[in-house]
Structure 1
Amino acid sequence: MNDIALQKKQLRQQLSAIRNSLLEQLRLQQSEEACKHAAELIHMNRIRSVLVYVPFRSEVDTWPLIHWCWQHQVKVLVPRCDVATRAMILYPLYNKDQLRSGAYGIMEPDDQQLQPSDDIPEAVLVPGLAFNNKGQRLGYGGGYYDRLYERLKDQTVWIGMAHEQQFVDDIPVDSYDIVLNFVVSNKGIGTFSIE
């Protein structure tokens, strides 16, 4: 394991413990606030389609934002993980009943009910374990979002979703790691210019 990989592993353990220690009521309140800021960002930028992760464990709960998107005619796409290729397949989502338990126990689109979409979302909302004030993110190590980023980075806006407790000064990064345009938390919207 190289030095960056080791640093990432240690930071993942540390930030996972911090995020998991948040009391459920606080986590839900912060999620609600973060979703309001994300909705404001989507509205201000006239974004008409978003790829949104389905929340898992202690991630920022995106359901308030998903419901807002449905109410405001913003197309919602959600990912399904292809474990063999470590790629994301995007599906439109119209209601919660179109989800089933998928890879890693995460709720995913039911491919018996939905067809994959070739649409390129105008924005991608990304979960993570840590974020910083340079638009860098520490993910879970699977590389799914990094591969999607390689495919779509110049065609879409990249938005991290965070609890305020997930911000750190430094994140070890590799050349292929995502650089976000925005990080939205319960504290507001952080904006970054991508070089």
Structure 2
Amino acid sequence: MERLLVLARHGQSEWNLKNLFTGWRDPGLTEKGVEEARIAGRWLKEQGYEFDLAYTSNLGRAQRTCALMLEEMGQTGIETIRTEALNERDYGDLSGLNKDDARQRWGNEQVRLWRRSYDVPPPGGESLKDTVARVLPFYIQAILPKVLAGKRVLVAAHGNSLRALVMVLDGMTTQTIAGLEIATGVPLVYHLKADATVEAKTSLDKDID
């Protein structure tokens, strides 16, 4: 039985380009972001993948990425479930601020702690630990049973909501997850065993033509 789970961060957003903290704010994709999503969909189709079901967040950049990927695959008709559980980490008071400006205001070390520590939240926002506490139960209760039942599932979401899943799937610790960057528009393909552990993992080369 095939147990396919593909995770994809949205394509580059307008605020990624401007180096702004985004969180739950809802900027659109750039032209590059649209092309990243299309390339991801084409690559998945070329690899012979198909999906039965898709999940995405309540934010437009992830929803559009999901739709563009499925369009390139000729799969626009499949059921797509949108949920706040897969939203990006909430950056609270940092949302909308330029990252360099934030470093000047609070200092490089403090901003690094907010961005990369596991359990230190920015003012008014979520830590990665908080994000894991939101994402992981949804994965266990809603997504994983579908995959284990043989449904081929696409999850189009965000850097931090996907880091929460990758931490579990790849067996990373709260220390090693701090160094993980998930590139925009690059699908991570997981084949799971019956016990929900990873049998194989592949991904799109970012430099692919």
- TM-score surpassing 0.5? no
Q: Answer with 1 or 2: which has the greater Rg.
A: 2
Q: Higher helix share goes to which structure?
A: 2
TM-score normalised over the length of structure 1: 0.38
State TM-score, norm by structure 2: 0.36
Q: Which has the higher contact order (CA 8 A, sep 6+)?
A: 2
